[in-house]
Each structure stands twice: as C-alpha cells, then as structure tokens.
Structure 1
Amino acid sequence: MSAPDSSGSGRAKAPASASEAPFGAFVRKPSKAAAPAAPNASPDAGPDTQPMRVESPESWPADAVEVGAIVDAYGLKGWVKVAAHADAGHGGDALLSAKRWWLLKGRDANPERRSTPVLQAKIHSDSIVAHLAGVDGRDAAAAMRGCRVYVSRSEFPSLETDEFYWVDLLGLDVVNVAGVALGKVADMIDNGAHSVLRVEYPATGKDGKPVNGERLIPFVGVYVKHVDQAAKQITVDWEADY
C-alpha cells in the first residue's frame, strides 16, 4: 500500500496511486471533502445512559484520546459548546458519534474526572454543540467550561483500509526502503497542504551529550510507501542523511 496523502484535519488517507493521547493526535486527511456526520441521537438503553458520574484514574479508559475542550455554554437549556481538536466531519466526528464523553478538568496532580452520556451532539458553525446528561440549564453548562473532552479510541468512527488516525501512528518505527532505522514517530504536523511525520532518533549534540535528532518526512505517497500498524512500522523512501 502506498502512503497517505493529507489535506485537512482528521484522518490520513493514502492516495489511489504511488499511497492518555496528546492534543492534536486526532486527524483526517480524505482525498475529497467528507460529508458531515449525522447528529448523535439519544443513546440506547444500557450503561451509557447512566447520568454523569465521578471517575477515578482506575476507571478512566486506557484508550481515551483528547478530542476537544468545552469553551462555553450554548443556549439556555444546558447545551455546551466544544472546540474540537479536529474539524467536525474531519476527525471531530468522534465527538458526534461517541455515546459517552470523558471529562477532565484541571491540570494539577489530581484533576477532576467525570464522564457523561451524550444525549445529542451536532455541528454548529465552526464548533460542536452538545447536550450532556446531568447538565440542565445555562449555569450548569457554563460551569463545564475548561473541561477537556476525551473519547475512547474504540468509539472512533471506522476508517477505510487506506486511512489512519494520527493517534495510531504515534510511536511507530520508521525505516527506509533499504531497511535503515530512521527513528520513531514523535508527532504529526499539519502544514496546510499535507501531514508531516516528525520522527525523533537518538543523536549526539555538539557538546558530546546525547540529544534527540529530528526528521520531518511528508506523509505523502511519493515518500511513504507502507504503513504496517500490526508490525508498528512505517516504510519510507527517505535517506538517513536528508
């Protein structure tokens, strides 16, 4: 399979020919504009219909990915406004499809942890608005400001075989077509035209001390030849001295 091309924020997709997670790890790069996801309807009866509950580090999902933050109340009936880390319909659709949001507030050693079912979520202008269980009225919604929103990776919308979520590429080994190890994916960058792999590798500084070297490899088919998630490896047409 050839490598993913990119043009937005959400997933990374291979072109037809040639090919607790951090902020910004969640992207989409379709070859054509994706249709907005349908609003999230009230969830079916079951565990995710439980009201808002307090969580602990032990009950927090191991696959939770930060996908946005609550920035304000919306309207008078308890809806909240969310700034998504990826555009709605371009990766931010996980916010629309997830039945439960996991909320983290505070950046000290013991942040407040809660989770709540999503009664309804939809795109509004350049953000997402949602009605969460247990949040009734504007004052209650305003009190949610500053909460970072996480979604379990297992609840992300499914992808086509040639699409990738950035969060799944982080930490993968990068080797070139000659088998030379180039490092590991430390981050993904969106430069507006396409995604870029930021690859770190062990190096030596001018003072002789160990440092992290960096390679920036465009995530496009001319350079990225194969992504093997099972083997945790990306093969690229890129020389070690570039």
Structure 2
Amino acid sequence: MKKDSERRILLGRVSGAFGVRGELKLESWTEPRLAIFNYQPWILRSPSGQESEISGVRGREAGKTLVATFPGVDDRNVVESMRGTEIHVARSALPPPKSDEYYWVDLEGLDVRTVDGGALGRVSHLFSTGANDVLVVRGDRERMVPFVMDEFIRSVDFEANLVVVDWDPEF
C-alpha cells in the first residue's frame, strides 16, 4: 500500500474550453464542487500520461459549469489540447475524514473477510450507484458489496488492514 504522501486522489477532469480567453471547463467530484480549488497543488495527468504540477488555479461557477483559470494559460487552443486531463491531489492534501466516513482511496487494497472469518479478497475500488456506494472485492472472483455501515459493512480497521462484511460468500 502506498504511503499517504505518495497516494493520489482523482478530484476532477478538464472537460473543455470556456470562452476564448483560455478558461477551462472542469468536472469536479468534490462536495461541494467548488471545493476542488481548496486542494492545491494539483497534479495534472494528460490523456497521454504526461504529468505536471500546478498551483494558483482559480475558479467559479457559471450556471451548471465549473470554470477555471490556470496561471499562464490564456489560449483556447492550449485549453482544447488539455481536454481529458485528470486533476489529482496528494492524499495528504485532504483533511482527515469525519468519524465513520472514509476516502475511497484509503479503502483500496484492504483485505475483506466475512463476519465468520472467510476471506473474500481485497478491495479493488468503489463506485457510486446514487442510492449507495459499492465496494468491489476481488478474490477468487469479483463481488460487489453495498457500502452500508452496520448492515453489510461491519467494521473498517486500518491498523489490521481489514474490512469485515456481513455478506454471503456465495453471492
């Protein structure tokens, strides 16, 4: 498991140009979405895999769109070439989660066992269905466990590197 200082969290993506002065449209997965600007520096990862770091990004909401200004970027063509660029931050840049809340990246790689002690595998990733989040566990096969505390997720123990679930291994 990577140390927090090395781990990154994907917070958003450049979705295109806004206007002609080099402003960028962003997708933000922070809550609220403007909070993405609170976590800097950003590590930008282009679709081709090139990475760079940027600080001093400013942003605003424009209707349903999030608009950003990157220092030194004032050309629409440059912005268009950045479409699809992912916005990451170091895990250490985020505040500690509240009690009974977890960053998905912190759960990835944890071992998963049933309440009876049966090994199911490791947390691969999580995704949201809208109704609830889902823990994807890969072991002898892939299982999807609703991330509902107390009902299906019985405990999360970072010291033991373990998530205990109330889940039928046959399901």
Q: What's the TM-score, normalizing by structure 1?
A: 0.61
Q: Size of the alignment, in residue pairs? A: 167
After superposition, the Cα gap between the structure-2 partners of 1:99 and 1:191, relative to the gap in structure 1 and judged at 3 Å, is: closer
Structure with greater Cα Rg: 1
Which of 104, 124, 134 aligns to 1:196? It is: 134
Higher RCO structure (Cα 8 Å, ≥6 apart):
1
Residue in structure 1 matched with residue 8 of structure 2 by the alignment: 64
Residue in structure 1 matched with residue 72 of structure 2 by the alignment: 134
After superposition, the Cα gap between the structure-2 partners of 1:104 and 1:189, relative to the gap in structure 1 and judged at 3 Å, is: closer
- Could you tell me the percent identity over the aligned residues? 32
Which of 22, 31, 43 aligns to 1:89? It is: 31
Matched, 1:113 2:51: yes
Question: Once superposed, what is the RMSD of the aligned Cα atoms?
Answer: 2.4
SS in 1 for 2:138: strand
Q: Distance in 2 between matches of 1:69 and 1:83?
A: 5
Q: CA deviation at 1:117?
A: 1.0
Q: Which amino acid aligns with 2:82?
A: M
Residue in structure 2 matched with residue 235 of structure 1 by the alignment: 164
Q: Cα deviations across residues 56-106 of structure 1 (Å, max 9, x unaligned)?
A: xxxxx732223222122223443211123x2x425x555221121111223
Whether the 8 Å contact between 1:64 and 1:150 is mirrored in structure 2 is yes
Residue in structure 1 matched with residue 98 of structure 2 by the alignment: 160
Which of 170, 186, 194 aligns to 2:108? It is: 170
Matched, 1:219 2:147: yes
Q: Which amino acid aligns with 1:170?
A: E
Q: CA deviation at 1:219?
A: 0.9
Whether the 8 Å contact between 2:111 and 2:162 is mirrored in structure 1 is yes
After superposition, the Cα gap between the structure-2 partners of 1:127 and 1:225, relative to the gap in structure 1 and judged at 3 Å, is: farther
Q: Distance in 2 between matches of 1:77 and 1:63?
A: 34
Q: What's the TM-score, normalizing by structure 2?
A: 0.82
